[in-house]
Structure 1
Amino acid sequence: MLPPLLPLRETHIVGPHCVEWVLSPERFPQLRRGRFAWIGHSELRPPYRMVRIPSAFAHIVVCTAGEGRCVIDGKVVPWRAGQALLAPSGRDHGFEAVSEEPWHLAWVFAHDREGPPLVDAAGPQLIDAEVGDFADTVRLMVREAYGEADPATMQAWVSLLQTHTLRLTGGPRRDPRLIRLWREVEADLARPWDVTQLAQLAAVSEEHLRRLCRRYHRRTPAAYLTRLRMHRAGVLLRATNVTVEAVAEQIGFGSVHAFSTAFKRWSGVPPSTYRQLGDRVLPSQAD
């Protein structure tokens, strides 16, 4: 018999009858670009227990089968399939397996160093949700990582997981004007965008666009545009054989020298070295 879940104290008990598949940014650097500290899925049985006081990360955890329990508003409540736990960083939370029947979870731990809190709440919340897409994306991403682990494919899975995570949390980065803006910009990165054009495309003033980008991206519009270009360049360098000159042209740099300088500032190495090193190199800035 497990002791009561309350009062909480820092705990991480796995147990001999639990299996967890975990990806970390040390092995898969693409996770850093999605604000993910870890992702994974688990098949759990007692005495599994996870308590964080307080948690350094936001936890988004979905239950797809079985039953456990967690602490919500100071009370221990059952946690069943079709429910998602949204636990903000900097707050206490805990959950545990309660049955010998397997308890299936899929989850991400995310950091809030960049941008608004991923879970903007005073404490953990347990919500009814469509958890299937999130869970399937986590599992398929883990399968890719344990198999081919193609960098471009992993990056695509990270982007998709970001989307499903934001749908569960309500999305701190879901201002529709920015979504429309960056979707159109990403479709034409070779265009010589300036702040005036970006503001017109978003249908806001230049100053308001700066405020939106500071709020949702913690960057200026120009800096966020550069980030999009560098990400695209990184994918092209790793996933294709196009020349550095062609990459520079495709993302809007008229000068290979200017592109190489900007790319080295972002990644820490020149484009040619980045291509050779592959996953062994990470962007030098918090990204």
Structure 2
Amino acid sequence: MNKDIRETNMLGIGTRQFTRSSNDCRALMAAGIEHAGFGNPGKGYYSARTNPSVHHIAACYAGAGEVYCGGTWSPFIPGMVVCQPKAHAHAARSVNGKPFSFFWIFFTDDSRYAKSSMLQNPQRLTSDSIAAAGAVRELCWKGMGRQNVPIKIEHACVELITSWLDELLFDKGVSGRLEPLWRKVISQLDRDWDTESLAELAGVSPTHLRRICADETKASPMKKLTHLRMEHAKTLMTITDMKMDEVAYRTGYANMFAFSAAFKRYAGVSPSRWKELYNAETSEA
């Protein structure tokens, strides 16, 4: 038993969780997924398992909480995915009563995902999981009978989830050489980064950084940086009362106008509109 955490499952106030089992979804069973689910933890949420019997991954897609992985606690923010092998303690909790949203996928023992090298030891990865989160939510709602979704849509959801898992655990996970770099950058998003300074922090040449980044993220270093900044901005807008100029400063933009323009290019809507849509969605979830 891990002495740092204790086995518990405290849902807290206002927490809502939804799951879909492979017992009633053949597409999940065929993919080697035991079950998938998502939750919107509220104040006081704390769930911990000291000796889990299955491999799984969990990904945050809104708000911010904390996650226990590999023996340490760390912020659980949009863009973060944790790989949790069986028999390794894991936990998640809300912080200061702030809400967050995440989803999880548990694998069968004979699943090819469970055998992935990325799931042999606990680790943290970065990935855009918004589309996969939407697919998991759709599956869960379908299982509850809340939506009359055709079976072909159910299969499409599982296909989207497995495509994301393939990239996360196989294509992207070949080396993961830039994960240490992005973890450092996340804590310094207000810095005036460019490709040269990122390369210096990574200990490689700018040309080599571009090559590795293209292999691992299918994007340039600066596009990856923009993704991290925008996802952090979403977190700040959902769990704090910061004004837009402060959010802009915290994410490395000179003023709110530059930030707003960059955010609209990234998300398709202005920051204020995105926040309205987010609040509407979470109130209905």
The answer as to whether partners of 1:88 and 1:120 remain within 8 angstroms in 2 is no
User: Is the contact between residue 144 and residue 150 of structure 1 (CA under 8 Å) also seen in structure 2?
Assistant: no
Does the aligned pair in 1 maintain the 2:31–2:111 contact within 8 Å?
no
Shift of the 77–6 alpha-carbon distance from structure 1 to 2, 3 Å rule, reads: farther
Work out the CA distance in 1 between the residues paired with 2:87 and 2:150.
34
Mapping 1:1-287, distance limit 5 Å: 7-115=4-112, 117-118=115-116, 120-145=118-143, 146-170=146-170
What amino acid is aligned across from residue 31 of structure 2 in structure 1?
A: G
The CA deviation at 1:44 is 0.6
* Deviation at residue 121 of structure 1 after TM alignment: 4.2
Q: Please give the secondary structure, in 2, of the residue aligned with 1:156.
A: helix
Q: Is the 8 A contact 2:50 2:89 kept in 1?
A: yes
CA-CA distance at 1:36 after TM superposition:
1.5
Distance in 1 (CA, whole Å) between partners of 2:120 and 2:21 is 27
Task: Name the one with the larger helix percent.
Answer: 2
Q: What CA deviation, in whole Å up to 9, does each residue of 1:9-67 have, x standing for no partner?
A: 22222123101121112332332112112212211123222222222222221111211
The SS at the match of 1:106 is: strand
Moved more, 21-30 or 163-172: 163-172
Q: 1:252-283 deviations in whole A, cap 9, x for unaligned?
A: xxxxxxxxxxxxxxxxxxxxxxxxxxxxxxxx
Give the percent of matched residue pairs that are identical in Structure 1 and Structure 2. 20
For residues 111 and 62 of structure 2, the distance between their equivalents in structure 1, rounded to whole angstroms, comes to: 33
In structure 2, the CA distance between the partners of 1:150 and 1:173, relative to structure 1 (3 Å rule), is farther
Q: Give the 3-state SS of the residue equivalent to 1:170 in structure 2.
A: helix
Distance 2:45 2:93 in 1: 6
Q: 1:105 to 1:61 in 2, by over 3 A?
A: same
Q: What SS does the aligned partner of 1:26 have?
A: helix
Aligned to 1:153, what secondary structure does the other structure show?
helix
Write the distance in 2 (CA, Å) between the matches of 1:130 and 1:10.
30
Q: CA deviation at 1:72?
A: 3.2
Task: Give the letter for the 1:120 counterpart.
Answer: M
Quick one: which amino acid aligns to residue 111 of structure 1?
A: T
Q: Partner residue of 2:195?
A: none
TM-score, length basis structure 1: 0.52
Give the direction of change, closer, same or farther, for the CA distance of 1:67–1:155 in structure 2 (3 Å limit).
same
- Whole-angstrom CA distance in 2 between matches of 1:97 and 1:173: 28
Give distance in 1, aligned partners of 2:44 and 2:71.
21
CA distance in 1: counterparts of 2:135 and 2:120, whole angstroms: 28
1:50-109, CA deviations, whole angstroms, 9 ceiling, x for partnerless residues? 222222222221111211112233222122122111112232212211132211112211
Bigger Rg over Cα? 1
Unaligned runs of 5+ in 1: 175-287
Q: 5+ residue gaps in structure 2?
A: 175-285
Q: Secondary structure at the match of 1:120?
A: helix
CA distance in 2, matches of 1:96, 1:162: 27
Q: Is the 8 A contact 2:56 2:83 kept in 1?
A: yes
